[in-house]
Structure 1
Amino acid sequence: MFTAQRAPDLKTVLLATGVILTLAMGVRHGFGFWLQPISQANGWSRETYSLALALQNLLWGAFGPFAGMVADRFGTMRVVLLGAFAYMAGLIWMAVVTQPTLFIIGSGVFIGLGLACTAFGAVSGIIGRSAPPEKRSWAFGISGAASSFGQFLMMPVEQTMISSIGWQNAFFLLAAIVVFLMVPMSFRLREPAVQKKGGHHQSIREAMSEAVGNRSFLLLVAGYFVCGFQVVFIGVHLPAYLKDKGIADPKVAVMALALIGLFNIFGSYMAGQLGGKLPKRYLLSFIYFARSVVIGLFLLAPLSPMSVYLFAAAMGVLWLSTVPLTNGIIAGVFGLGHMSMLAGVVFFSHQIGSFLGVWLGGYVFDLQGSYDVVWGISIALGVMAGLANLPVDERPLARPELKAA
């Protein structure tokens, strides 16, 4: 594994990973805008496109631990390079393939791999290795804010692309942007060769066994499942939900998703700041409880553009603020030696939740003509996640036989 002392400069790492996360998460958050035009152009039900996005999220999570292992072992640069080209291939695939099964499988594999190699799990290790312990939670918060800025920036850009050049050409243009910006940034994430030191070093198998046998780790896994279910259901299905409810102006949905990104810049940064001062488990519990309250108020209030914007702003503060806190707990409890891999394992749970959230939204809508059941599930899961995070133990594990990572 890489040593913290030899890791690249923190400012360089935050700049490069910031650009990469801005694109990776920004492009992905806009996929909901393609649900209706692709479905109409190809004569698909909403479930077909929803299943494609669900598989993307599931494979993103499945590839994540392996991308993390490679990043921890051989360096983040190689992983991000692979991810950039996989992401590009996936966007092109979504533009040209019209056969439903091929569309679902191909976009799931390419986009899933691309996100696994360019999003939080893959870059968390180099951020943790570059930041001193007292700044680690803050650094994770900065990376979360970068991904949120991507959502804020890319929502109007993607909707404008679709409106001005068509949904297919929008995919082609995004593919070019991804590869031409991510590749140069990846070279700023070079890390030194593996440094072997004396004494026992924890193997991948030992690290994994230790984590899955740890109660707090399993509670984080459970909480992240809920996080994925909620944010991906909302991110993908909110535009269609608003249109179904009579808010036909697409600018309202664009503004709502952009506001989620804008306010999550603040939310992620503040979560990182507070995570260095307050128990992270209590902050995580508060976030999950607050999400359930916000969703419930949104459903009870009369629907209008203003209520949508207020909902988006409130959810934005809570959106990805779980990321710096969860990664901070993982780094603090288990150390940095297998940080990317363990973050990837937790994130796999997030993506299982994402798969169910986005697919269930489309399935239930096609079955009942309404999203009400899935909204209710989101509220109940938020309460469960809030309770699950309360007993998390943040104390570092004692490993007398291992040197500190």
Structure 2
Amino acid sequence: MSDAPSAPHLSRRVWIMIGAAAAIVTLSMGIRQAFGLFLAPLALDMGIDRQTFGLVVAIQNLLFGLAQPFVGALADRRGAGTIAVAGALIYALGLVVAGLASNALGLGLGLGVLTGAAMSGAAFVVVLGAVGKVVPAHKRTLAFGLVTAGGSLGQFLIVPLAQGLIDAFDWRVTLFVLAALVALVIPLALGVAGKPPAANHTDGPALKPALAEAFAHPSFWMLNFGFFVCGFQLAFVGFHLPAYLRDGGLSPSVGATALALIGLFNIAGSWLWGAWGSKRSKKGLLALLYALRGLSMIVFILVPLSPASALVFAAVSGFLWLGTLPLTNGLVAQIYGLRHLSALAGIVFLSHQVGAFLGAWLAGLTFDATGSYMLMWIVSIALALTAAVANLPIKEAPLVRSALPAE
């Protein structure tokens, strides 16, 4: 599993779509990963505690997930370009509203409600659905990995930029700059624009029976549980790791560097897990990935906290960060077909965001109640090991269907 794959032979149009999709998630997810840096300045300026900030982020994650199946179904019919433009406009508006906020309610409206709903159109599921429908099956998971790596590149580039802007100016100016950056998604949406290829009736039934079919399939719920765990862990670590490190006596720059390292190592991780998934059992790789996450957390909380241990943990976490995404989306396409890929992947992503809601909110709640994040680390480890076991029974073979009627 150590050999890097060669670049696939794909048409110029497909490479443009992959590049545009990767650039879109570079901006949308890179900005989102910087939100954890705002906890400390918000506490000083507005008196917002960790539980309140965690709830704002949790609402953002939940709305991101709740809107995703509907937005994904719309993208399956209308194409990803229009959806991405609408998402970018609402995303920018949310950041501006948050930058103008004078209390927790305004912050929740901007950074929670508007931003959360917007990301369902300007992030992974919509653009991955567009890419998945034009890339051959044997190269699809690799393509998903390349797009997913874009989110990590954004984290590596945008998190340090955001920290520098906060240090040089303040958190409000930083949010306005980030709003301008996310507006760049609008021209990039041209790369994923266009109506999706005509639906192939042999590649899945109409939407309503397709949903019933997936809901009756145990493997679909196993994928949902695994992605729930992924969301829980990413929200906890992504939004609370900088505060955890500061509590341990490390400087804020270590937290920002840790988040950037997660992004840097996930560039390679997303690509490699996606590439391996094109050649090997996706469910086996998912089980391995979750198990390695749990092991890395065990080691991290057992060794003395230092800048070195924090950055090593960040690097390992980055390699394991979003490798779940190309593998999970690859399994959805492989098992259930392409016709409703964005809608079905959107439902699985909803599970991810329910986990993210709980990971972000419960971390703040637990800290305010106990003065420590230790309980959250223990829960995250237990969930990781459970997810590793839960992925093993997934049936990877495409569903066998009788002939579907013409529509």
Q: Confirm or deny a common fold (TM above 0.5).
A: yes
Report the counterpart of residue 59 of structure 1 in structure 2: 63
Q: Could you tell me how far 1:154 is from its partner in structure 2? A: 1.0
- Per the alignment, do residues 71 and 312 of structure 1 end up closer, same or farther by CA in structure 2, a change over 3 Å counting? same
Q: Does 1:150 align with 2:161?
A: no
Structure 2 Cα separation of the partners of residues 219 and 80 of structure 1: 29
What SS is found at the alignment partner of 1:130? coil
Report the counterpart of residue 264 of structure 1 in structure 2: 266
Q: Which of 3, 22, 26 is the equivalent residue of 2:30?
A: 26
* Alignment root-mean-square deviation, CA: 1.8
TM-score under structure 2 normalisation? Answer: 0.94
Q: Could you tell me how far 1:189 is from its partner in structure 2? A: 1.5
Q: Does 1:224 align with 2:227?
A: yes
Q: Does 1:233 align with 2:262?
A: no
Q: Which of 103, 120, 125 is the equivalent residue of 2:124?
A: 120
Q: In 1, are the aligned partners of 2:94 and 2:109 still within 8 Å (CA)?
A: no
Counterpart code for 2:123:
A
Q: In 2, are the aligned partners of 1:128 and 1:136 still within 8 Å (CA)?
A: yes
Report the counterpart of residue 343 of structure 1 in structure 2: 345
- Per the alignment, do residues 244 and 183 of structure 1 end up closer, same or farther by CA in structure 2, a change over 3 Å counting? same
For residues 48-67 of structure 1, give each alpha carbon's deviation from its aligned partner in whole angstroms, at most 9, with x where no partner exists. 11110110000000011011
Q: In 2, are the aligned partners of 1:201 and 1:403 still within 8 Å (CA)?
A: no
Counterpart code for 1:98:
S
Q: In 2, are the aligned partners of 1:199 and 1:403 still within 8 Å (CA)?
A: no
Counterpart code for 1:172:
F
Report the counterpart of residue 75 of structure 1 in structure 2: 79
- Per the alignment, do residues 393 and 88 of structure 1 end up closer, same or farther by CA in structure 2, a change over 3 Å counting? same
Structure 2 Cα separation of the partners of residues 403 and 27 of structure 1: 45
TM alignment of 1:142-181, pairs within 5 A: 142-179=146-183, 181=184
Structure 1 Cα separation of the partners of residues 200 and 283 of structure 2: 34
What SS is found at the alignment partner of 2:133? helix
Q: In 2, are the aligned partners of 1:54 and 1:359 still within 8 Å (CA)?
A: yes
Counterpart code for 2:79:
G
Q: In 2, are the aligned partners of 1:268 and 1:320 still within 8 Å (CA)?
A: yes
Structure 2 Cα separation of the partners of residues 200 and 307 of structure 1: 48
Q: Which of 326, 330, 333 is the equivalent residue of 1:331?
A: 333
Counterpart code for 1:245:
G
Q: Could you tell me how far 1:101 is from its partner in structure 2? A: 2.9
Report the counterpart of residue 382 of structure 1 in structure 2: 384
Choose 118-127 or 166-175, whichever is displaced more.
118-127
Q: In 2, are the aligned partners of 1:200 and 1:403 still within 8 Å (CA)?
A: no
Structure 2 Cα separation of the partners of residues 92 and 196 of structure 1: 39
For residues 68-107 of structure 1, give each alpha carbon's deviation from its aligned partner in whole angstroms, at most 9, with x where no partner exists. 0110011101110110001101111111112323432443
Counterpart code for 2:65:
G
Structure 1 Cα separation of the partners of residues 199 and 275 of structure 2: 34
What SS is found at the alignment partner of 1:9? helix
Q: Which of 244, 247, 258 is the equivalent residue of 1:244?
A: 247
Identity of aligned residues (%): 43
Report the counterpart of residue 15 of structure 1 in structure 2: 19
Counterpart code for 1:148:
S
Q: In 1, are the aligned partners of 2:289 and 2:324 still within 8 Å (CA)?
A: yes
- Per the alignment, do residues 200 and 157 of structure 1 end up closer, same or farther by CA in structure 2, a change over 3 Å counting? closer
Structure 1 Cα separation of the partners of residues 106 and 207 of structure 2: 34
Q: In 2, are the aligned partners of 1:22 and 1:146 still within 8 Å (CA)?
A: yes
TM alignment of 1:121-136, pairs within 5 A: 121-136=125-140
Q: In 1, are the aligned partners of 2:75 and 2:342 still within 8 Å (CA)?
A: yes
Structure 1 Cα separation of the partners of residues 176 and 106 of structure 2: 18
For residues 200-231 of structure 1, give each alpha carbon's deviation from its aligned partner in whole angstroms, at most 9, with x where no partner exists. 97222111111111110100000000000001
Q: In 1, are the aligned partners of 2:98 and 2:106 still within 8 Å (CA)?
A: no
Count of residue pairs brought into register by the alignment: 396
Q: Which of 199, 210, 213 is the equivalent residue of 2:213?
A: 210
For residues 275-303 of structure 1, give each alpha carbon's deviation from its aligned partner in whole angstroms, at most 9, with x where no partner exists. 01110001000111111100010000011
Q: In 1, are the aligned partners of 2:234 and 2:356 still within 8 Å (CA)?
A: yes
Q: In 1, are the aligned partners of 2:201 and 2:404 still within 8 Å (CA)?
A: no
TM-score under structure 1 normalisation? Answer: 0.94
Q: Which of 255, 258, 265 is the equivalent residue of 2:257?
A: 255
Choose 297-306 or 193-202, whichever is displaced more.
193-202
Q: Could you tell me how far 1:108 is from its partner in structure 2? A: 1.9
